[in-house]
Every structure is written in structure tokens, then in C-alpha cells.
A and B are shown apart, each in its own frame.
Chain A
Amino acid sequence: MTLRVSDLACARGPAQVLASVSFSVEAGEALILRGPNGAGKTTLLRTLAGLTPPITGTIAHEEDAIAYAGHADGLKAQLSVTENLTFWASIFGTDDITPALTAFDLQSLAERRAGELSAGQKRRLSLARLLVTGRPIWCLDEPTVSLDTENTARFAAAVEAHLAQGGAALIATHIDLGLANARTLDITPFIAKGLPASDPFADDPFVGALS
């Protein structure tokens, strides 16, 4: 369940954002990513999740290990809470959504349509999705946005439970979750300052054909 990142450089669009990022996360451990706005936390997490290919460097983990949760909740407003979770369970090949409902106290909302939930309730549902993925490494981007104190604690408890089962988590957040087995990684030193931006038209088929 180890995630090892070495000498990673990642880009958002044409601009290189981070350079020479190296760290590793062991099973049962959480890594809190910190850094000012625009430092590249989201870019790093998207690269780890495989959405953006890295410029250089390696990301080593077991296959199909990463569950990603970004800024957007990824919910369908017309589907109920249960239907949303059941859909993701079927995609990830798991079938029991009850633990996910319980962990984020969603049982009473189970039949409510996601479109009728408050922002915090939507966030809880979105986080509950992580439990039905059954994947060991969670990559979470600002997971506590719009959560109140009680539900932030509930989320922290869910992460603790996940770590206790041998999972791992990378969390970009600005608040203190109070996790027992957590390290903090400040990504400010890795910001790719002064590095020449890669050719902005490198993957532009039109300009590429002209030059």
C-alpha cells in the first residue's frame, strides 16, 4: 500500500507548477499537504490520481490503488443519496454502501435527492463515496470545505478508521484534522519558480503542424 513519489515534476496546462517532488506514504499513514493558494496542491493530487501525466519523475504504487476526491462533489442532483452511492459502488465493484452511509451519518437522508441536500450534506455524500471505492490510498483535495465542526470530526474519524485498516491518505487542507498518525508536507519548496515554462504549444496540433 506504499505510495512512493520521486523527483516528480507536474504541470497544469502549459505551465510547470512543481519540480523535484519526492516523498513516500506508508500504509496506515496520512500525509497532509500544505502550501499557499496556487502552490500546486491540486495539480499534485491530480497528477497522483493519473488525471494529468507527470512531466518527469515516477509515481510508484500498486495498480488501482488511488481514490481521488476533488473540489467538485461529482453528484447527480436527480439521483437519491442511495442511488448516487450505489452507482459508484457498481463502478468500483463493491456492493455494501451501508458503512459509507453510517460513517457520514447519511442514513436519515438516504432517500433524499442529492439536488435537495445542503452544501455540507453534499460534501458528506461525496466523501462517503471514498468508502465504497474500496481503494487503499485516498487523494483528497480540500475535503472539509463546507463541513461544520461536528462533521469535520466525523470525517477525521473516517480517515482514522481507514488508516487503521492499513489504508493511506494524502490530504490537501488548511485546517488541523487532529489525525494521530499524520505527517505534514509543505510543498512551497517544490514550487517551480524561475523554471522555463514548457513550450505552451507543445501539444497543440494546429501550431505543431505549422512549425
Chain B
Amino acid sequence: MIGLLKRDLALAIRAGGGFGLSLAFFLIFTALVPFGVGPETGRLSEMAAGLLWLGALLACLLSLDRIFQLDWEDGTLDLLATSPLPLESVAALKALAHWLTTGLPLVAAAPVLGILLNLPGAAYPWLIASLFVGTPALSIIGTFGAALTVGIKRGGLLLSLLVLPLYVPTLLFGALAATRGAQGLDATTPLALTAGITLGAAALLPFAAAAALRVNLR
């Protein structure tokens, strides 16, 4: 099992693996916001937590179609499906590898980008915590979406349409935790709900993703 994770991490950091693309998108998105909203620091700082969450979500969305598509194209997915590794584990490991190469760097970059948006000091711990517990849900839900659309040529747009509505609860509670933190309010409840979404998704969606893969591999 660890072999698949190691391979996915190795592939992500090699040439053409796409590691850093999401991070660069996140950076550019955050840098563009002040141009669109205007440089008024008061207004920016009010919106910063929500914008950072939105940026992280969109950056995560960018790399979803790579999760299964490349393995499907070169026949590896067929071979994995006939291997002793259950497809449920394949889906769970793929989601984990996606989070390690996409979600975790976004969590690490968010506080630095918070400075660009004049994020209030009190919000930093809550922003980092909410992204840390919330981005795994984005990867897991995205893996399910990628499993549904594997095999569709240029399925990236369809994948986005399927996945974005499913991201609403995570974004809602994650951004709420960070925003409440910015206002100096207690943010434990939205944070716990974000963690709940992640745990629920981790428990259920690998099975759904495996079922979708089985149908698509026929």
C-alpha cells in the first residue's frame, strides 16, 4: 500500500508532475484580489479569511483531474484494479497523496499570503487550523469526483461542475471558522464541523469512489 503512496509522491515532484501548480495558482489568485477589490486595507482585511479559503479551494480544484486520469490513460488503473490492492484503498491513498502534494503546501502558504491581504493577527491560528482540517475533505471529495469522470476526454470542466457544489459545506464552515477567528470570536464550533466533514468524507467517499471506478473500468 505504501508503494502506491510513494509512487504518487515521486511522480508529483518529477517533471510534469504538476507539484507547485496549485501553489502558484493560489499565490497569483491572492495577489490579484487587491487589484479587483481595491487597496483599502479595512475592506481587504474583512474579506481576507474568506478569500484565502476560496483561493485554496480553487487551487485544489485545479489538480483534481490528474488524480485518476493519467493512470487511466496509460493503463495503470486497469492493472491496479486487478492487483491485490482493493480499489477502496487505491482511492483513499490517491486522496492522501493529493492532499500531501496539494492541500498541505496550501496550508503552509496561507499564512504568508494572509499578509498580502492584511489578515488580522488573531485570525492566523484559526485560518491555519481550519485549512489543515478542511483541505483533506477537499481532496477526498475531489477524488470521488475524479473517479466519476475518469475516462471522459477533457473531463476537467465536468469534474469542476460536479465537485464545486459538494465543496459548499467545507467552504462554509472552514471560512466561518477563520472569519470568526479574525473577529476575535470563538470559532471552535465551525472548526469542529469542518473536521466532521473531513472525517465523514474520509469514512464514506473512498467506497463511493471505488464503486464509480468499477463502473468506469468496465
Contact = CB atoms under 8 A, between A and B. Distances in A.
User: Do A and B make up one complex?
Assistant: yes
Interface of A: 13, 49-53, 64, 66-79, 83, 86-93, 129, 133, 203
Secondary structure of the A side of the interface? loop
B10 A72 contact: no
Given A73-B74, A74-B75, A87-B3, A51 B217 contact: yes
A199 B16 CA distance: 42
B23 to A, nearest CB: 19
Contacts of B16: 78
A76 B82 CA distance: 17
A90 to B, nearest CB: 3
B75 A71 contact: yes
The 7 closest A-B pairs by CB, nearest first: A72-B75, A90-B3, A74-B75, A78-B14, A68-B82, A74-B79, A74-B76
A131 to B, nearest CB: 14
A66 B79 CA distance: 11
A91 B76 CA distance: 12
B76 A76 contact: yes
B203 to A, nearest CB: 23
A91 B82 contact: no
A91 B85 contact: yes
A90 B2 contact: yes
Contact of B10 (A64, A74, A79): A79
Secondary structure of the B side of the interface? helix
Contacts of A52: 217-218
B42 interface: no
Interface of B: 2-4, 6-7, 10-11, 14-17, 73-76, 78-85, 215, 217-218
Contacts of A86: 3
Contact of B80 (A50, A91, A203): A91
Contacts of A87: 3-4, 6-7
A117 to B, nearest CB: 13
Contacts of A66: 82
A51 B82 contact: yes
Nearest to A63: B84
B75 A73 contact: yes
A103 B52 CA distance: 54
Contacts of A91: 3-4, 80, 83-85
A189 B212 CA distance: 34
Nearest to B12: A78
A78 B16 CA distance: 8
Nearest to B73: A72
B15 A92 contact: no
Given A71-B75, A75-B74, A90-B3, 19 more contacts: A49-B82, A66-B82, A67-B82, A73-B74, A73-B75, A74-B74, A74-B75, A74-B79, A76-B7, A77-B74, A78-B11, A78-B16, A78-B17, A79-B7, A86-B3, A87-B4, A87-B6, A90-B6, A203-B215
